[in-house]
Amino acid sequence: MPRVEEFIRGLPKTDLHMHLEGSLEPELLLKLAGRNRIQLKWSSADALRSAYEFDNLQTFLDLYYAGCEVLVTEQDFYELTHAYVRRAQADGVIRAEVFIGPQSFTTRGTPIATVIDGTLAAIHDAERDGTISVGLIITAQRHRTEADAFALLEQLRPWQGHILGIGMGGAEVGNPPSKFVNFFRACRDAGFRLTIHAGEEGPASYVREALELLDVDRIDHGVACLQDPELVAELARRQVALTVCPISNLRLKVVPSIAAHPLKTMLAHRLHVTVNSDDPAYFGGYASENLLACQRELDLSIDDVISLVRNGFTAAFLPDAERSAMLSKLEDYVARFDWTH
C-alpha cells in the first residue's frame, strides 16, 4: 500500500453525513430479505450491485427506498447499525454522526420504537470499548408535508435525550428549506442540533434559506453555494460546516468527475468543508475512499487532507472535552506517522 494511502486510511477521522439505510450492503440486504420473506428481483449480491447506476438523486432514491423494505424488525436495525459502525472503525472513524429516517418505515406500519431502539442498542454496544463515538440524527423527509414532520417530532419525545439532532433529506428540487421553517424552529426549541441537505441538486438559494430561515448548525452537501459569492463569503465568515460527499456527488451526476469536484475551490474560499460517505454501500466509498479519491484527483496536499479531517472534528456535535481529546488523537497520529518506509 502506498504511504499516502496508508496515512489517509489510518487517520483518526469523522463521518458526519452518513445514512444508515445507505450503508446496507447487498449481502446484508439479501440476508434480511430472506429472513423477512421479502421477494426481491435480484438473486445475488453481484446482481444487486450491478443495479447501482444512477442518473440523478431520484433514481438513487427509488432503489434506496426499495432497500428499506427489508428492514422490518428491531434486530434488522441493530444489524444494520452494527455493520456500519464496525466498517467505520476499520476505516479509522472515531466519531460518526449517522442519519436514519423513520418515516420510510412508520408509513408502512413499522413502529418507530422498532427503528430507534434497534439502532440505539447497536450504537450503545459499539461504544463500549471506547474506540468510536456515535451520535444519532433523525431525518425528516422533505417530499412530505411540514405537518408530517411535526408528527415525527412528536413521536420522538420518548427518546429525546438519546437523539443528537434533527436533519432533513430526500428529493431536494421543489422542496425548499423554506417549506419547513416552523418545524425547524420547533426542533431548535426542543434542544436538538440541526442540519439539512441543501445545495446538492438544489440551487444556492436553498443553501441561503437553510442558513437564514432555518438557522441550522450544519449544511449537508452545500456544493451549490459557489453559485452565490455573497453566500460563500457569509458561510466562510460564520464557519458553518458543509458535510460534502464527493463520491456521492460523482455517482449522482452532480459532478462529471472527482477532478471536477468543487471541494478544492471550497477550501480556497476558507469554507468549513468536511468529507463524508453519504450512502457508502450504494456509492462504493466509505470515509477513507472519499478522502483518497479527492487527494488523488484534486491533487490535495497532505496538509489539505489533515485540514479536512480536522474540520470534521470541529464540525461534530460534540462536547468540547470530547472534541479536544479527538483532535489530540489526530495530531498525535500525524506527528508519529513514519514517512520513511
Nearest residue to 221 via CA among 262, 166, 180? 262
Q: How many Cα neighbours within 13 Å face the side chain of 145? A: 3
Grid cell listed for 316: 461534530
Nearest residue to 95 via CA among 12, 200, 205, 217? 12
Q: What does the H/E/C string look like for 104-171?
A: HHHCCCCCHHHHHHHHHHHHHHHHHHCCCEEEEEEEEECCCCHHHHHHHHHHCHHHHHHCCEEEEECC
The yes-or-no answer on residue 200 being catalytic is yes
CA–centroid distance for 27 within its chain: 21
Helix and strand element counts for the chain (H, E): 17, 8
Q: For residue 232, which phi and psi values (nearest 5 degrees)?
A: -55, -45
Which residues 6+ apart lie within 8 Å of 123 measured at CB?
A: 81, 85, 134, 136
The CA distances from residue 323 to 60, 135, 253, 330, in Å, are: 34, 13, 34, 11
Nearest residue to 199 via CA among 227, 178, 179, 180? 227
User: CA-CA distance, 58 to 305, in Å (whole number)?
Assistant: 31
Grid cell listed for 45: 449480491
Which residues 6+ apart lie within 8 Å of 241 measured at CB?
A: 16, 217, 218, 219, 272, 273, 274, 311, 314, 315
User: CA-CA distance, 220 to 196, in Å (whole number)?
Assistant: 6
Grid cell listed for 47: 446482481
Instruction: Given the residues 25, 74, 172, 200, select the one marked as catalytic.
Output: 200
The residues annotated with a catalytic role in the active site are 200
